[in-house]
Amino acid sequence: MPSSKNILLMIADDLGREQMGCYGGERRITANLDGFAASGCRFDMAFTSTASCSGSRTVIYTGLHTHETGSYGLTHGNNGFRTFDNVESAPLLFKNIGYKTGILGKVHVSLDNMYPWQTRLENESRNVAWIADEADTFFQLSKEEEKPFFLTIGFVDPHRQLGTRGGFGNVQDSYDPRPNDRIFKPEDVTVPSFLSDILEVREEFAEYYRSIHRMDQGVGMVLKALERYGLADKTLALFLSDNGPPFVHSKTTLFEAGVRLPLFEAGVRLPFLMRAPGFTIPGNVNPNLVSYVDILPTFLDWAGHSNVPSKAGCVQRKGRSILSIAGCSQPQPGWDRVFGSYTFHEITNYWPTRFMRNRRFKYHRNICWKLDFPFAMDLYASRS
């Protein structure tokens, strides 16, 4: 008989911890997420194993590191990266155990047959009210069909969008009258310690804040829809970001902000808020080190299928369920280390690095440190 336990996964794009009130952000721009954190558990040391959009999402959906899945870099365009055929994904596994699966918004992983969501509304719109409407419809259908669901929502905010006001998808007028659009001034922002406190940075962050505030309202609208259908008490809801902010030292890309360096703390130590009725304690702060490879095993455990083995010939999942420590407020034995790797972002951004992290120390290895990267002026002056 199918499980009655639902799963709601909400993924922000390029959201840092320091911008969220529940993680100590000085400007209260994430009221809905702060409320969600108060109703569940806030993990203080959650890490993606790679700070790149497609790679991080692949880790979430497979419970494997990127070198095990083939997702060494972004899947779009001419990059050519795709998930190996011998990898099992979350939408495939949950479809097989009787779940109604779906994804709304940003997808950004490889071929549909490797990630066979039954409902796939791929759209990179910044209209969070539209996403909430589609989530409402999905919840309603799931309840009518009497099927447990696994819904993933990929918010595009607060990712950069070149060619728009400020580069964060902001427009002169709001996308929809329902969210309360808020415009920030340079003096309203708090500049992170890894960036220079200059006017240009403050102007960028003001636009970034507006995008975060929009996404936060989308989260609130989705959670209200979940409650409207009486589903909150039997739904594991998880909110996280795929990687850190789109600024120097906090993400992997080398083309948006001059030079960005992968796997630094701001890029891989991320917001991770979970509400799992019966496991999490409202308002708890969990200090244990958890990795994004642990997410899929946690979902399977919640659904009552923690013993589902990887198929013969498929790569064995590496993560483990965090439900057993979800209610803990003290460090637990064995939850004290995480690992990560980065090889590409775009196919032209080859910069292989690895990291190991425990509670106190971090080992960050730059494998090809001798590689030469020319400055733009060198290229301009070159005869070839």
pLDDT digits (tens, 9 = 90+) for 5-23: 999 999 999 999 999 999 9
Tell me the DSSP string of 228-274.
HTT-GGGEEEEEEESS--SSTTSS--SSSSS---TT-HHHHEE-EEE
Q: Which of 22, 53, 314, 328 is catalytic?
A: 53
Three-state secondary-structure class, residue 196: coil
Q: Which domain holds residue 200?
A: 6-381
**Res 156 pLDDT > 50:** yes
Residue 331 confidence (pLDDT): 98
Cβ-based burial of 362 (10 A; exposed 0-12, middle 13-18, buried ≥19): middle
Q: Give the up-direction half-sphere exposure of residue 158: CA atoms within 13 A in the CB hemisphere.
A: 27
Residue 336, domain CATH: 3.40.720.10
**Res 258 pLDDT > 50:** no
Of 154 and 307, the structure prediction assigns the larger pLDDT to: 154
Quick check: is 53 catalytic?
yes
**Res 139 pLDDT > 50:** yes
In a domain, 114, yes or no: yes
Residue 71 confidence (pLDDT): 83
Q: Which of 102, 127, 119 is nearest to 6 (CA)?
A: 102
**Res 253 pLDDT > 50:** no
How many folded domains does the chain comprise? Answer: 1
pLDDT-derived band at 379 (thresholds 50, 70, 90) equals: low
**pLDDT per position as a tens digit, 268-302:** 999 999 999 999 999 999 999 999 999 999 999 99
Residue 376 confidence (pLDDT): 55
**Res 383 pLDDT > 90:** no
**Mean pLDDT value of segment 79-95:** 89
Instruction: Give the pair of three-digit tokens for residue 36.
Output: 């969600």
In a domain, 1, yes or no: no
**Mean pLDDT value of segment 326-343:** 96
In a domain, 199, yes or no: yes
In a domain, 84, yes or no: yes
Of 383 and 134, the structure prediction assigns the larger pLDDT to: 134
CA-derived radius of gyration, the chain: 20
Q: What is the DSSP pairing of strand 149-154 with strand 272-275? A: unpaired
In a domain, 94, yes or no: yes
Averaged confidence pLDDT in the chain: 89
**Mean pLDDT value of segment 36-58:** 94
| Percent of the chain residues topping a pLDDT of 90 | 69
In a domain, 375, yes or no: yes
